[in-house]
Structure 1
């Protein structure tokens, strides 16, 4: 079965689909590529961490649910490829919310504890061995989270291209 847009005539899902898809793709891309880098540059590490710890649970829940809603509203005929892109995007949110964010939070808490008891640095100002190990672990987990987030956003982009391709067949 090919991915073809349903007739646009009386299908009332179409405008809602386009609005919600735009919000989903635009919102996730804007937060990831504009807002987060800006607040990272402007805030201290501690302030940035506090903001992100409040935003991320909501962001990841949106990343899970929004592609599913887009799928329910889609004007595309059933196509495993387009469904797969939306599922991949939701899976990214699931991994981030239930695996990567909790692990990164634990590691951030451990780093904060070292800082609070002044065991985060050696006498020469370099990170202590324990802090260096935590920083390395955090970098690894955060890197995986970032990669999963990029895959989630890219999946939404591929879905949008599939949608545009279906629209171009209507001409």
Structure 2
């Protein structure tokens, strides 16, 4: 750190690179790769890819949030925090918490629920098709209507998947707001 409690040049560079790298990764995984993979891979292959990709993604998000928090926390005395400093720290704590919850709790439970769903689907000869490729009635809807166990498993999966998605969007929003704040304060950076 330089005099006056402000971080040195390299610390600023690391902070900006880690924050922007995390946000870029989150944007790519959330809005690009997931949709491309979903529309172009067979259903069960998509699930397999996501089950391998997401643990790394969640742990990298957690690590980036932790690094940024470690950079931000010692910059100023807690009693002298400005609104922006406190907001940025709060956003990084939120990002760290949500990413950790995804990595340690929601991600594994979502994956376990997906494997249970896929087991039932494989027993019925489903899962090898690319979404949207079937003609006629939806075989997954028919399976939900006929098999209460499958319907319950699907609800279980979507509950965890929805919570995981909300945590992911929270991390994305937190990092985006931090980047926006940094961009607005470029003169002081």
CA distance in 2, matches of 1:116, 1:158: 43
Q: What is the CA-CA distance between 1:76 and the residue it aligns to? A: 6.2
| Contact map agreement 2:110 2:161 (CA 8 A) in 1 | yes
- Of 110, 115, 135, 2:154 maps to 135
Q: Does 1:85 align with 2:91?
A: yes
Instruction: Return closer, same or farther for 1:76/1:166 CA change in 2, 3 Å cut-off.
Output: farther
Give SS of 2:20's match: helix
CA distance in 1, matches of 2:169, 2:180: 16
Matched ranges for 1:51-62 at <5 A: 51-62=49-60
What does residue 46 of structure 1 align with? 44
What does residue 110 of structure 1 align with? 116
| Contact map agreement 1:25 1:156 (CA 8 A) in 2 | yes
Extract unaligned runs of 5+ from structure 2: 127-137
- Of 4, 19, 22, 1:21 maps to 19
Extract unaligned runs of 5+ from structure 1: none
Q: Which moved more, 1:94-103 or 1:159-168?
A: 159-168
Q: What is the CA-CA distance between 1:83 and the residue it aligns to? A: 1.0
Q: How many residues align?
A: 161
What does residue 132 of structure 2 align with? none
CA distance in 1, matches of 2:49, 2:26: 16
Q: Does 1:100 align with 2:101?
A: no
Q: What is the CA-CA distance between 1:23 and the residue it aligns to? A: 0.9
What does residue 156 of structure 1 align with? 175
What does residue 63 of structure 2 align with? 65
Q: What is the CA-CA distance between 1:20 and the residue it aligns to? A: 2.0
Give the alignment's TM-score, normalised by structure 2. Answer: 0.74
Q: Does 1:36 align with 2:42?
A: no
Q: What is the CA-CA distance between 1:97 and the residue it aligns to? A: 1.5
